[in-house]
Amino acid sequence: MPDNQTPKFPSTRMRRLRTHPKLRDLVRETHLRIDDLIAPLFVRHGNDQQLPIPSMPGQYQMTVGHLVNEVSELESLGVPAIILFGIPEHKDGIGSDAYDDNGIIQQALRAIKSAGSQLLVITDVCFCEFTDHGHCGIINDKHGVPDVDNDATLEILAKEAVSHAQAGADVVAPSGMMDGMIGAIRQGLDSNGFENLPILSYAAKYASGFYGPFRDAADSAPQFGDRRTYQMDPANGNEALREVGLDLAEGADMLMVKPAMSYLDVIRSVKTAHPDVPLAAYNVSGEYAMVKAAGQNGWIDEQRIALEVLTSIKRAGADMILTYFAKDVARWLSD
């Protein structure tokens, strides 16, 4: 455009389109909808208990009966989907409750489905909540230092996904960051007749301090070391594109970036590289806890900030958001 045609002040005034609230509505680029949200829920063993999670106000570890009630409340509020995390009664070295037909997740799935819920039920496919050492797979110390054995873990990941599918999961979401996990799970599902069951891959999952409250909630903190040998280095953005490319090649149907708020650039670059693949972002426990805590102290306006955070995650390129605010947002948006 020649310079004399470049729009400039005073012929151009950006404030014109901000003068009227209805005009602002018309020109708004990003819309947060209840339909975009997935509510994470924690299910525990036991009878008729609902234990508050101190670092996540408003969130609970629920026994199966409470979970079923919560699911029907979410459904009536218009929340389309949940993702389930389980806290088993017994943990062991290989997380066997995770693929036990009578494990906590399997019991929860059957209860939700037999109550007639139409809501979409996604399951987190991982081992950290089920192992006594708190890592996301089987440990070996082949090289003198204990670490998660990638290929041994693939076998039980496939078993876990198949077991969730058999109990009624609608989508499986592997979060362990093992190399080859999508391919192994796809193969397991296909060879058991679940070729139509979608995989939502936690493709770009970072070794983040923002998972702190979740590890209290799910009782899943690693008992030694940390997760840096399998989760991504927070300093790396381009590497996310390699992770995502591999997962797509192995058969991932949907992708996820996690956490969300400090990784908006990663969300944007994954969406730009793969505009045709549905992209989720996980507004994780630490992000929720910070907003809740500041809100409870009266330092920020919780509702306004939560909506602003979630809108920014969509603006960055996410098609859907896993968030502990799902139920609140459903209420706020319908007020």
Interatomic CA distance for residues 284 and 309, integer angstroms = 12
205 has catalytic annotation: yes
User: Which structure tokens are listed for 39?
Assistant: 């509510």
- By CB under 6 A, the residues from 262 to 291 that bind ligand PBG are 284-285
Q: Count the Cβ atoms, other than its own, within 10 Å of residue 55.
A: 17
60 lies in the site for ligand PBG, by CB under 6 A:
no
CB of 16 to ligand PBG, least distance (A): 42
Which residue intervals of 31-172 are DSSP H helices?
Answer: 64-77, 104-114, 150-167
97 lies in the site for ligand PBG, by CB under 6 A:
no
Which residue's CB is nearer to ligand PBG, number 209 or number 245? 209
Which residue's CB is nearer to ligand PBG, number 65 or number 222? 222
CB of 55 to ligand PBG, least distance (A): 10
DSSP string, 83-119: EEEEE-S--BTT-GGGG-TTSHHHHHHHHHHHTT--S
Residues contacting 267, CB < 8 A, separation 6+: 257, 260, 279, 281, 313, 316, 317, 318
Which residue's CB is nearer to ligand PBG, number 41 or number 330? 41
Catalytic residue among 8, 22, 91, 205: 205
Report CA-CA distances (Å) from 150 to 54, 177, 196, 205, 227: 33, 9, 26, 16, 13
- By CB under 6 A, the residues from 119 to 158 that bind ligand PBG are 124, 126, 128
CB of 210 to ligand PBG, least distance (A): 6
Interatomic CA distance for residues 67 and 73, integer angstroms = 10
Which residue intervals of 196-238 are DSSP H helices?
Answer: 212-217
Catalytic residue among 8, 91, 113, 258: 258
Which residue's CB is nearer to ligand PBG, number 42 or number 194? 42
Which residue's CB is nearer to ligand PBG, number 221 or number 273? 221
Residue count (the chain): 335
CB of 139 to ligand PBG, least distance (A): 16
Count of residues engaged in binding ligand PBG, rule: CB under 6 A:
9
Q: Do 41 and 285 form a contact (C-beta atoms < 8 A)?
A: no
- By CB under 6 A, the residues from 204 to 243 that bind ligand PBG are 211, 214-215
Q: Which residues are catalytic?
A: 205, 258
Contact residues for ligand PBG (CB under 6 A)? Answer: 124, 126, 128, 175, 211, 214-215, 284-285
